[in-house]
Amino acid sequence: MAPDMTTYLTSDLHLGHLNIIRFCDRPFPGVGAMNARLAELWNETVTPEDTVWVLGDVALGSLDESLAWVGRLAGRKILVPGNHDRCWAGDRALRTGTPEDRARRRAAAHDRYLAAGFAEIRDSPVETVVGGHPVLLSHFPYEGDSHGEDRHVEHRPVDRGGWVVHGHVHTSWRQRGRQVNVGVDAWGGRPVATETVGSLIDEGPRELAPLPWS
């Protein structure tokens, strides 16, 4: 019998990013401990047969060192890039120069993340079904931010009355209305199963605070 397969959602690991520890009050003395604990929590949760949607901001710092952690994470990983990912369509380096230059740099950026261990990269928000509900998977919520003002407004999905599953806001909320934040800072450092997100949607729009770190 084939093993059960689960789909998970997560965001904003910020592997290798020293300042995120202070900014989000993550309980680590440095990036080495943070990276190791994020990988441990991931691999305690996800099996090699599972799929994980990573909704952006996977790695910063020394990118070659930070991205190397992706290959240590279990499951089939699909990236929807965020504003801190070098393969994000809105990255300044991918929006300057001739069309040929932009296409070349974009292909090279994609190849870098694919080589690190992602199976796919989706450049735009993805329409899918979570727990029987149609949702949009996006790095950005419809509105709200972790910096007190809405950044990257031109890259945000349009609110047409549906649900959005997102990252970007770190500790600002776990759920706000029809916005469900699957970032690690809202879920104790772990990816969250689609069944869990579907249960939140079943309960309807409401306000939920982040969970503590595992």
Q: How many domains is the chain built from?
A: 1
Pairing of strands 126-130, 118-121: unpaired
Which CATH number covers residue 73? 3.60.21.10
Asked whether residue 160 is assigned to any structural domain, the reply reads yes
* Residue scoring higher pLDDT (109 or 100): 109
Asked whether residue 97 is assigned to any structural domain, the reply reads yes
Asked whether residue 2 is assigned to any structural domain, the reply reads no
- Tell me: the pLDDT tens digits for 134-144? 999 999 999 99
Least confident of 102-106, 115-119, 164-168: 102-106
Asked whether residue 192 is assigned to any structural domain, the reply reads yes
- Tell me: the pLDDT tens digits for 38-80? 999 999 999 999 999 999 999 999 999 999 999 999 999 999 9
Asked whether residue 30 is assigned to any structural domain, the reply reads yes
Asked whether residue 190 is assigned to any structural domain, the reply reads yes
Pairwise CA distance, residues 200 & 80, whole Å = 22
Q: State pTM to two decimals.
A: 0.94
Asked whether residue 172 is assigned to any structural domain, the reply reads yes
Asked whether residue 108 is assigned to any structural domain, the reply reads yes
Give 90's pLDDT tier (boundaries 50, 70, 90): confident
Query: What is the residue range of 17's domain?
Result: 7-208
